[in-house]
Amino acid sequence: MEFLRRAANPWNQDVWIGISWDLMWAAVIGGLAFLVLHAVIAWRTPKAESTAVAETGDPAIPDRILRHSAASRAFHWLMSVTMFVLLITAFFPLVGIRFAWVTIHWIAGIGLILTIVYHVVYATMKQDLWSMWIGAKELKEGTQEVVGFLKRSPPATSSKPGKYPIDHKLYHNTTAVITLAAIATGVLMMVRVDTPFWARNPYLLSDQMWGIVYVVHGLSGVALIATIMAHIYFAVRPEKWWITLSMINGFIGKKEYLAHHDPKRWVVTPGPGARGGGAAPPKVTGGAAQSPKAVPQDKQSDRLT
Amino acid sequence: MAVIRDMIPAFDLFQPTSIEDAIDLLDQYGDDSWVFAGGMDSFDWMKDRIKRPTAVVDLGNIPELKGITSSDDGLEIGAMTTLTEVASNSDVTSRFGLLSQAAGLVATPQIRNQGTLGGNLSQDTRCWYYRAGWPCYRAGGNICYASAPLAMNREHCIFGADRCVAVNPSDTATALIALDAKMVVHSSKGEREVDAEDYFIGPGIDITRMTVLETGDILTTIRIPGTWAGAQFYFEKVEDRKSWDFALVSVASALVVNNGRIERARIAVNGVAPYPMRLDAVEAAVTGKPQNEETAEAAGDIAIRGASPLRHNDYKLPLMKNLVRRALREQAP
Amino acid sequence: MATIGQDIAPPDLVAKVTGRAKFAEDFRAEGMVFAKLLLSPMPHARVRRVDASEALAMPGVLGILRAEEVPQVDAPREACLTDEPLYEGEPVLAIAAVDETTAADAIDRIKVDFEPLPFVLDPLESLRPNGPDARIGGNYFFRPRGSDIAEFRSHKWTDADFAAAGEGQMPMGEPRTEWSVGDLDAGFDQADLVLDETIVHQTLSHHPMEPRSCMAYWQNGKLYIHPSTQSTARTAVGIARSMDLDPDDVVLIGPYCGGGFGSKISGSPTMLIPAVMSRKIGRPVMMRINRYEETYIGRSRPGFQARVKIGFRNDGRVTALDLYIVEDGGAYGSGDFNTAGTVASLSYQPLAMRLRGVSLYTNTPPRSAQRGPGGAQIVGMLEPIIDKAARQLGIDRVAIRELNAPDNNGWLGPQQGRLTSAYVREALAMGKEIFGWEEKSRLSGQRNGTKAIGVGVGLSPFVGGSTGYDGLVVIRPDGKLYVHQGIGNLGTHSMADTARAAADVLGLPWDRVEVVWGDTSKHLPWSSNQSGSQTIHAHTRANHAAGIDARRKLQQIAALDWGGSPGDYVVGGGRVYHRSNRNQGMTFGRAARRAIQLRGKFSGYEMDDDLNAMTVASVQALAGQGLIGAAKDNYGREGSTWTFVVGFALVELDVETGQVDIKEYTAVADCGTVIHPRSLAAQIHGGGVQGFGIARSQRWVYDPQWGVAFAKRFYTARPPGILDVPLEMKWGAVGIPDPQTPVGAKGIGEPPVGAGSAAITSAIADALGGQCLCRTPLTLDVILAALEGREQPYGPLETHV
Ligand SMILES: Cc1cc2nc3c(=O)[nH]c(=O)nc-3n(C[C@H](O)[C@H](O)[C@H](O)COP(=O)(O)OP(=O)(O)OC[C@H]3O[C@@H](n4cnc5c(N)ncnc54)[C@H](O)[C@@H]3O)c2cc1C
Ligand code: HEM
């Protein structure tokens, strides 16, 4: 298998022109293999005893807890649309489904950028930016979990995450890095194609630099194939439906909250009208109790030290 | 590895005598195979060692692919019929003079004796960046050299660019589009018929090909329906020299005019886009209009709407506009 | 009957039209193998490392030749292989193999690590304050006369120089060469009209039909070489010098040459490659050059950017001409701008003139003389400007040329040199007559549908002869005259036609004349280069001298045998006989036998002591084979010999497409005595067609980013095709003998090019209503943009487009 597409430039110098599309198949196969493996292990692993925590919960905790605000959900779905458009436009032509893809691709790319900009701004201003931070303890717990999963021992119940479990955070952050790489390189690549924004200039960077840009874009592209496959897989796994559902209607139930989250790490306080299932979301904060710094309530992280 | 040009490397030559055998060979060798007609484009690639097929499949010994026959109310032309024959055959000259004119203006007599209609339609672009073997989009790379800020792109396109800005070089293509011809393509999957217009594809769809042909496909026949037989035809090719040259812009039109009114029109231009371009908007605008200078003027303006010239080819706008006008003016009988 | 003035087919004709003629690549030798070149992919680079191990391990590969193995030359000259290529396509190394396919496959497998170096394509870019230089060290070679300094230096202009030029005008900083004649300011003061134009002339590849292939082998220490070269004697001497051999040890056999146009004057550097490779591997080596390689190594005419200011009096007289040329000297430097200035001075005889110029090295293929070097470019550019003045002053365009043209008292160049003769007004008058100027010029600007008629006229002078070479003839016992010719045979017929001078002196019919040429083992005399339109002049003189020498010896032998004084004997019809008694005499055959018996000067055992060493060796080798006439051209001459050609053209310009159709072309030459009318017509018309290409279509294109050439195929370089040539082309010759040469003939090879180019640039400007676009080639895009009032496709100074 080749990893790179290379060519001789006009001066007969060896340059990279992109990744080998074998890697696309590798990502697809790798992604599938992961899913199958995971599914098989999960299927053969004894279910954890259902912990009866629900009743023991703080009565102040509302029955429905808002996990994703309407704005976050809108962001998620908009972003996923642009992402799918990007993936489809990038890879369908490579597997023989041909259409004029480049313009749709970069327009979707701009769509993606806009949603992400919105997301970042929103997350910084309104949400808890630190909720995606992965601390050392968490990392340890995460590793233990993976090892446990591979050993097919029942999930540990000793510690529970805050709002976002470690796998979500890892997923989110990996995807964020990959996507940002795709975006950064994609924006540069727009200089090579016809757009209304600037005159085409393939010589903006040296051949070598362009090679790197195309390779990074390609790599992030195929990496996204695998990550998104995994994402969808988990979204449709029955034990995660409650999360998937929350991305649709915004809420999780108190039961799921108590079962899957550490109320100390994800403190939920009822907001006005929460109990009545009103529109205003309950206040959701990070683990203020453990917070080493005196950060304002709504901006605190559930960072663990 | 060093580059050396203008020296053909060795290859295996196959000369099948039937379409089936040819297709078998193409399937057997896949991407290492090369369909060889008159060689006027093929040899160039091989001499420059840029395309290096190991199995060259020469269609020259397949009798079904040669010759011109009447069918129903139209004509069927074998893909391996030489351009000379297409230009001089009396059935073509008398009923579809547009095609014979176009074929007769290709390159030179020597090239027309050797070059075939199928090859002329299937030939690759002459963008010199691409033909220099540079790793451009069309060559599977990730760059268009010809649209760079200082690039030499006088011959390149003003329409239809999608990363690639090359133009289609074929003179017969526009004539066949104007005549509403159909291309018959054979492969191991069977036979399919494609409208002349759809035979050519732009870089948006597949940046490495000029036509719908894929590995294993053979263009076998060009069918010309009787629809436009004896219509009012106009073909003009503007080139730097009167021989040897590819069109900078060419135009082909077929009009059915009744009592000075244009009843039906088909018009196509080449040299302006990566594919021969049918001018639907012009056709629509002139249909039903009187054939006069006013209509011609308007048609010229419509034709170049939306064109976006590169650094050195702005002249193609007035050139195309004027050629379209000419194509719609009344012709001296 | 005299042979001069007759249409006589040259002796190589049948072989050529039947395909039997052997050109360089047709030669074969026992054990011959093939060489192929590896060319630089970069416009300027240094070879860091070559790994040829894989190539050399291939079966059939016999050897590699690297730059350090070939004859070394001092900067700035060009060696046949280099490790610092200075232009894309420059040969770096060669591989020999049993066949060409293997040699090419071997090149494919060589790994060369090139380090790219800064490069420049446009001399104006190199002149910018921080502009790149083509060489490490500079953009021109500094070697003042009488000093030891010889090095590259940088010539730059200042920002202020660039800023001083108006929009679209060529800036004019410090020149490298400057001369002037008369008082320029006074000249402009007298002017009623002053035109100031910026000009761009393209560079042009030579594109001879035959590429410069070469085969070579060694036998008993002698080098046998079959190059494609314009000259014979001079090329052999050049090879001997380059290979450090005794001239006797070089046998050059090359009786045919498929054109050179100045690119193969004394061969070309690459012809040494098979010679050195053959010595290295001990096998005869054939190196066939293909079209692709030919465009790189095959030389080119320097293009230029220029600015010209011309002052005219109301009557059309040119009072002042101020010309500034920035020339592209290519990778190895060369400039013909000085000739351009000289030609301009000659054409218009301005009351005052200044030439300033700078020719800089660029990283583009080597330049060399090309048919009318300097002259063809400048007349094509200036003639439409003269038209513009004529139009503004309301003067007939031929009349303005007649007014300014030189006559026998004309002058040229910085030294205000003199001419042997100039019959320009006669040529203009004859041209007007044949072309029908009076009626045709009335058609100017008329429209026929979308076609506008343009009528043009161009005057093109070029140097037409050199002197001082040797003639060598032998009358053998078979009674035939053998004229040995050291000039080459590049298709101009001069190797045969100049022999007529000897034939006529001896009164011999042509069927008894044998021309010996193209093979230095056949003992050839010292000759001029086959270039610069010299040969018809130089070698009618030399052969005339040798004929006179042979005639004198015939008369002496007759007097010895029959009594009386030599002066009593006449020579004619293959006999020498007493003027009063035809029977008292002998045939040439008998005289030859007598000469052999008499030895001494009669049969070459003694000879004049002013003969060149090469001629001496040849006479010695031929001694005893017949009556030998050998003499140097001592006829003398005052001033320089110049030929003039005027071209007239009628074109149709399609105002909707910009296409130009040349409908009629007439050219008339003042080239002295006409030796061979048909051949003269071929030169006048052939050169004219080459000029059409310059004016209309021929391109030289570079990608500015990579410094890589694109117009390297015929179909991309676009020299004219046969359909671009008008069906009927007419010609004429004034036919007044030049008074300073015995036969009266002046050279004709070069000036027809400028006439063709200028007639077309002038006609196109005329069809455009007098608008001079001042650039070549005038392709239809340039014309259409002007017609439609759109922006020009190229910047006013943009070159290599
Ligand atoms: C100097 C020069 C000038 C020219 N000028 C012009 C011009 O002005 N106008 C113009 O229209 N053309 C021009 N041509 C092109 C020429 O006219 C040929 O028609 C054309 O290049 C190819 O025809 P061919 O039969 O030689 O095919 P080839 O060169 O053998 O084939 C061309 C291509 O088509 C494919 N192909 C050919 N036949 C078939 C088939 N039946 N089925 C599937 N694939 C096929 C081949 O695989 C190859 O890729 C010029 C060519 C040259 C060399
Ligand atoms: C995040 C998901 C994305 C994926 C999966 C993706 C994937 C790809 C792939 C596989 C290619 C082909 C690359 C090659 O030929 O080597 C490509 C090309 C391209 N992408 Fe993306 N991309 C993504 C995001 C973006 C973004 C955000 C932009 C710009 C805003 C962008 C702009 C481009 C452009 C302009 C090209 C064409 C470049 C060319 O052909 O030269 N992409 N993309």
For residue C657, the domain's CATH number is 3.30.365.10
Nearest CA in chain A to C43: A11
Q: Place C335 in a pLDDT band, splitting at 50, 70 and 90.
A: confident
Evaluate whether residue C5 is within a structural domain: no
C116·A11 Cβ contact <8 A: yes
- Look at residue A287 in the predicted model and tell me its pLDDT: 37
Q: Please give the distance, rounded to the nearest whole angstrom, from the Cα atom of residue A89 to the centre of ligand 2.
A: 9
Q: Write out the two tokens for B165.
A: 């800005």
Instruction: Decide: B117 in ligand 1 pocket, CB within 6 A.
Output: no
Evaluate whether residue C140 is within a structural domain: no
What is the Cα–Cα distance from C694 to C698, expressed in whole angstroms?
Answer: 5
Q: Which residues of A touch B204 (CB under 8 A)?
A: 99-103
C708·A10 Cβ contact <8 A: yes
Amino acid code (one letter) for A50: S
Evaluate whether residue C193 is within a structural domain: no
Shared domain check, C435 and C313: yes
Does the ipTM surpass 0.90?
yes
Share of chain B above pLDDT 90, in %: 97
Length of chain C: 801
Evaluate whether residue C159 is within a structural domain: no
Shared domain check, C626 and C480: yes
B151·C801 Cβ contact <8 A: no
B152·C702 Cβ contact <8 A: yes
- B140 interfaces chain A, CB cutoff of 8 Å: yes
- Look at residue C758 in the predicted model and tell me its pLDDT: 98
Q: Of all atoms in ligand 2, which is nearest to the CA of residue A110?
A: 30
Q: Please give the distance, rounded to the nearest whole angstrom, from the Cα atom of residue B122 to the centre of ligand 1.
A: 7
Instruction: Decide: A189 in ligand 2 pocket, CB within 6 A.
Output: yes
Range of the domain at C582: 470-632
Q: Decide which of B13 and A70 is more confident.
A: B13
Q: What is the average pLDDT across C425-439?
A: 98
What is the Cα–Cα distance from B200 to A13, expressed in whole angstroms?
Answer: 33
Instruction: Decide: B210 in ligand 1 pocket, CB within 6 A.
Output: no
Shared domain check, C504 and C461: no
What mean pLDDT value characterizes chain B? 96
Q: Mind listing the pLDDT tens digit for each residue in B100-155?
A: 999 999 999 999 999 999 999 999 999 999 999 999 999 999 999 999 999 999 99
Q: Of all atoms in ligand 2, which is nearest to the CA of residue B143?
A: 41
Which of C781, C782, C794 is best to mutate for the B interface (most B CBs within 10 A)?
Answer: C781
Number of CB atoms found within 10 A of residue B193's CB: 10
Shared domain check, C616 and C526: yes
Closest CA to B265 of B243, B287, B245: B287
Q: What is the average pLDDT across A13-27?
A: 95
Q: Mind listing the pLDDT tens digit for each residue in B79-98?
A: 999 999 999 999 999 999 99
Helices (H) then strands (E): counts for chain B = 13, 12
Q: For C269, how many CA atoms within 13 A lie in the half-sphere containing its CB?
A: 23
Q: What is the average pLDDT across C344-348?
A: 98
Q: Mind listing the pLDDT tens digit for each residue in A124-143?
A: 887 666 667 777 777 787 78
Shared domain check, C445 and C313: yes
| B62 contacts: CB under 8 Å, gap ≥ 6 | B16, B17, B18, B19, B22, B80
- A203 interfaces chain C, CB cutoff of 8 Å: yes
From A101's Cα to the closest Cα of chain B, the distance in A is 7
What is the Cα–Cα distance from C105 to A244, expressed in whole angstroms?
Answer: 62
Q: Mind listing the pLDDT tens digit for each residue in C562-612?
A: 999 999 999 999 999 999 999 999 999 999 999 999 999 999 999 999 999
- Look at residue A305 in the predicted model and tell me its pLDDT: 30
Q: What is the average pLDDT across C372-396?
A: 98
- B139 interfaces chain A, CB cutoff of 8 Å: yes
Shared domain check, C622 and C603: yes
Last residue of a domain, one of C117, C150, C174: C117
- Look at residue A272 in the predicted model and tell me its pLDDT: 46
Could you give the number of structural domains in chain C? Answer: 3
Shared domain check, C544 and C446: no
Q: Mind listing the pLDDT tens digit for each residue in C39-88?
A: 999 999 999 999 999 999 999 999 999 999 999 999 999 999 999 999 99
Q: Identify the weakest region by mean pLDDT among A2-16, A232-246, B198-212, B216-230.
A: A232-246
**3-state SS assignment for residue A217:** helix
Shared domain check, C620 and C674: no
Domain of C93, CATH number, reads 3.90.1170.50
Closest CA to C698 of C716, C718, C722, C713: C718
- Look at residue B149 in the predicted model and tell me its pLDDT: 93
User: Which residue, judged by its Cα, is nearest atom 11 of ligand 2?
Assistant: A90
User: Which residue, judged by its Cα, is nearest atom 9 of ligand 2?
Assistant: A90
Q: Place A156 in a pLDDT band, splitting at 50, 70 and 90.
A: low
Instruction: Decide: B246 in ligand 1 pocket, CB within 6 A.
Output: yes
What is the Cα–Cα distance from C524 to C606, expressed in whole angstroms?
Answer: 17
Q: Mind listing the pLDDT tens digit for each residue in A176-188?
A: 999 999 999 999 9
Shared domain check, C531 and C416: no
Instruction: Decide: B216 in ligand 1 pocket, CB within 6 A.
Output: no
What is the Cα–Cα distance from B313 to B308, expressed in whole angstroms?
Answer: 9
The DSSP code sequence of C488-532 is --SSSSHHHHTTHHHHHHTT--GGGEEEEESBGGG-------S-T
Which of A18, A101, A203 is closest, CB to CB, to B148? A203
User: Contact at 8 Å (CB) between C564 and C571?
Assistant: no
- A103 interfaces chain B, CB cutoff of 8 Å: yes
- B147 interfaces chain A, CB cutoff of 8 Å: yes
Q: Which residues of C touch B332 (CB under 8 A)?
A: none
Shared domain check, C490 and C607: yes
Say whether pLDDT at A273 is over 60. Answer: no
Evaluate whether residue C219 is within a structural domain: no
- Look at residue A304 in the predicted model and tell me its pLDDT: 32
Instruction: Decide: B77 in ligand 1 pocket, CB within 6 A.
Output: no
Q: What is the average pLDDT across B205-230?
A: 97
Q: Mind listing the pLDDT tens digit for each residue in A78-108?
A: 999 999 999 999 999 999 999 999 999 999 9
Say whether pLDDT at C21 is over 80. Answer: yes
Last residue of a domain, one of C580, C599, C632: C632
- Look at residue A138 in the predicted model and tell me its pLDDT: 74
- A209 interfaces chain B, CB cutoff of 8 Å: no
- Chains sharing 3 or more CB pairs under 8 A with chain A: B, C
Q: Which residues of B touch C799 (CB under 8 A)?
A: none
- Look at residue A50 in the predicted model and tell me its pLDDT: 52
User: Contact at 8 Å (CB) between A190 and A213?
Assistant: no
Evaluate whether residue C752 is within a structural domain: yes
3-state helix vs strand vs coil in chain B, percent to 5: 35, 25, 45
- Look at residue A282 in the predicted model and tell me its pLDDT: 43
Shared domain check, C474 and C461: no
Last residue of a domain, one of C90, C117, C144: C117
Q: Place A158 in a pLDDT band, splitting at 50, 70 and 90.
A: low
Evaluate whether residue C226 is within a structural domain: no
Q: Identify the weakest region by mean pLDDT among A148-152, B71-75, C701-705.
A: A148-152
Q: What is the average pLDDT across A219-238?
A: 92
- A201 interfaces chain C, CB cutoff of 8 Å: no
Ligand lying nearest the CA atom of residue B175: 1
Q: Write out the two tokens for C532.
A: 């610069």
Q: Write out the two tokens for A114.
A: 């806009």
- Look at residue A270 in the predicted model and tell me its pLDDT: 59
A84, A189, A190, A191: which to mutate for ligand 2, most atoms within 8 A of CB? A189
- Look at residue C682 in the predicted model and tell me its pLDDT: 96
Q: Place A244 in a pLDDT band, splitting at 50, 70 and 90.
A: confident
- DSSP annotation of C265 reads B
Q: Please give the distance, rounded to the nearest whole angstrom, from the Cα atom of residue B170 to the centre of ligand 1.
A: 8
- Look at residue A281 in the predicted model and tell me its pLDDT: 44
Nearest CA in chain B to C658: B319
Q: Which residues of A touch B134 (CB under 8 A)?
A: 9-10
User: Contact at 8 Å (CB) between A277 and A64?
Assistant: yes
Shared domain check, C558 and C430: no
- Look at residue C520 in the predicted model and tell me its pLDDT: 96
User: Contact at 8 Å (CB) between C19 and C256?
Assistant: no
Evaluate whether residue C795 is within a structural domain: no
Q: Under an 8 Å CB criterion, which residues of B touch C?
A: 1-10, 48-49, 108, 128-129, 132, 145, 148, 150-152, 154, 238, 240-245, 248, 312-315, 317-319, 322-323, 325-326
Instruction: Decide: A86 in ligand 2 pocket, CB within 6 A.
Output: yes
Q: What is the average pLDDT across B38-66?
A: 97
A86, A207, A216: which to mutate for ligand 2, most atoms within 8 A of CB? A86
Instruction: Decide: B238 in ligand 1 pocket, CB within 6 A.
Output: no
- Look at residue A133 in the predicted model and tell me its pLDDT: 73
Amino acid code (one letter) for C152: F
Q: Mind listing the pLDDT tens digit for each residue in C275-325?
A: 999 999 999 999 999 999 999 999 999 999 999 999 999 999 999 999 999
Closest CA to C729 of C443, C435, C460: C435
